[in-house]
Amino acid sequence: MGFPGTWMTTSETLVYRVIPKCACSTIGQIMHYVDHGRYFDGDIHDATTGLHKWALTESQPKLTHAITDPDVFTFTCVRNPYTRVLSAFFDKICGIQRNGQRYRGKLVPLLIQKYGITVEGEFDQIASFRRFLLFVRDSIKFRRPMDPDIHWSSVAGHASTLVNGGGHYNMIIATEDFTRGMTEVLASVECRHPIDLETMPRFNESEGHGPKRAHPVEAFFDDLSMHLVYEIYHRDFELFKYDASDPANKMPIAEIDLDEVHAKLRG
């Protein structure tokens, strides 16, 4: 199984478990900067140098050694399930990707045909999103009409692969309190190049792909939608301390218990 979705600084001091739609572009650029004193020119997901990545065969032995070494700091970043799945909808379903195409080619036509989603023109964002939620539930719970996509499969599912491979998180930070969390992460390792998190650019690679959200987050979630989101992401709410009862409250409501996370993600 190994450690899919892991990145590491070339100095081999900091390991990150990538979780899509949770500030991963910004985190990758920070890791690149603190080692090299510059940001990667382009989308950090495309980088084949400047970071160790599990997707690069030559990096796998180094990552395996680091992740199983208790002295190497390992972290990840999580996000409120309501805002994460909404972001995935606007980016991946409504948006045109960097290659000028729709995400995953035939996915949007499939959703239009099977779920009645509309993404063209002045479409009803709320109605289409709620239909998208039905698709998300079907793909995650029943693996149909396709396997779940990494951008809307659960945060806990992503995070668990590192634990089940024998790794251990030293810290889990929240996207909603990013600067404080990332400051604590960087204070825990030796950085070759200091970085000012307050003034650095934000690398939101998905920004501008889709239409602008026309309503506040809570407007997208009626009682049935909230029930579906909890059905899909109940472990994310419980482990990472988000409020399932109030889509308007994006902030965590308690501190993450790392012992609980490791116990419940294992196995």
pLDDT in tens, 118-141: 998 889 999 999 999 999 999 999
Region 132-155: mean pLDDT is 95
Whole-angstrom distance, CA of residue 262 vs CA of residue 177? 22
The predicted structure's pLDDT at residue 208: 60
pLDDT of 209:
63
Strand 171-174 and strand 73-78: the pairing is parallel
The tokens for 244 are 């399932």
When pLDDT is cut at 50, 70 and 90, the band that residue 183 belongs to is very high
Strand, coil or helix: what is 155? helix
Beta strands at 14-17 and 6-9: parallel, antiparallel or unpaired: antiparallel
Q: Check residue 205 and give its pLDDT.
A: 60
- Distance CA(29)–CA(164), nearest Å, equals 27
Write down the domain spans for the chain. 1-94+149-210+234-267
Distance (Å, whole) CA 98 – CA 225: 30
Q: pLDDT at position 59, please? A: 98
Encoding tokens for residue 212? 């602008």
* 67-78: pLDDT as tens digits: 999 999 999 999
* Token pair of 57 as six digits: 């065969």
The token pair at 165 is: 């491979």
Strands 73-78 and 14-17: parallel
Q: Give the pLDDT score at 204.
A: 73
Q: What token pair was written down for 218? A: 């809570």
Residue whose token pair is 């690398």? 203
Please, are residues 115 and 134 in contact by the beta-carbon 8 Å criterion?
Answer: yes
Six token digits for residue 105: 């080619």
pLDDT digits (tens, 9 = 90+) for 76-127: 999 999 999 999 999 999 988 877 788 888 899 999 999 999 998 889 999 9
- What is the rounded radius of gyration, in angstroms, for the C-alpha atoms of the chain? 18
Q: What is the pLDDT of residues 184-233, one digit of tens each?
A: 999 999 999 999 999 998 887 655 667 889 999 999 999 999 999 999 99
pLDDT interval class at 178 (50, 70, 90): very high
Token reading at 79? 């996000």
Instruction: Read off the pLDDT of residues 26-41 as tens digits, 9 standing for 90 and up.
Output: 999 999 999 999 999 9
What's the whole-number mean pLDDT along residues 8-36? Answer: 97
Tell me what the mean pLDDT of segment 247-262 comes to.
97
Residue 170 banded pLDDT, cuts 50, 70, 90: very high
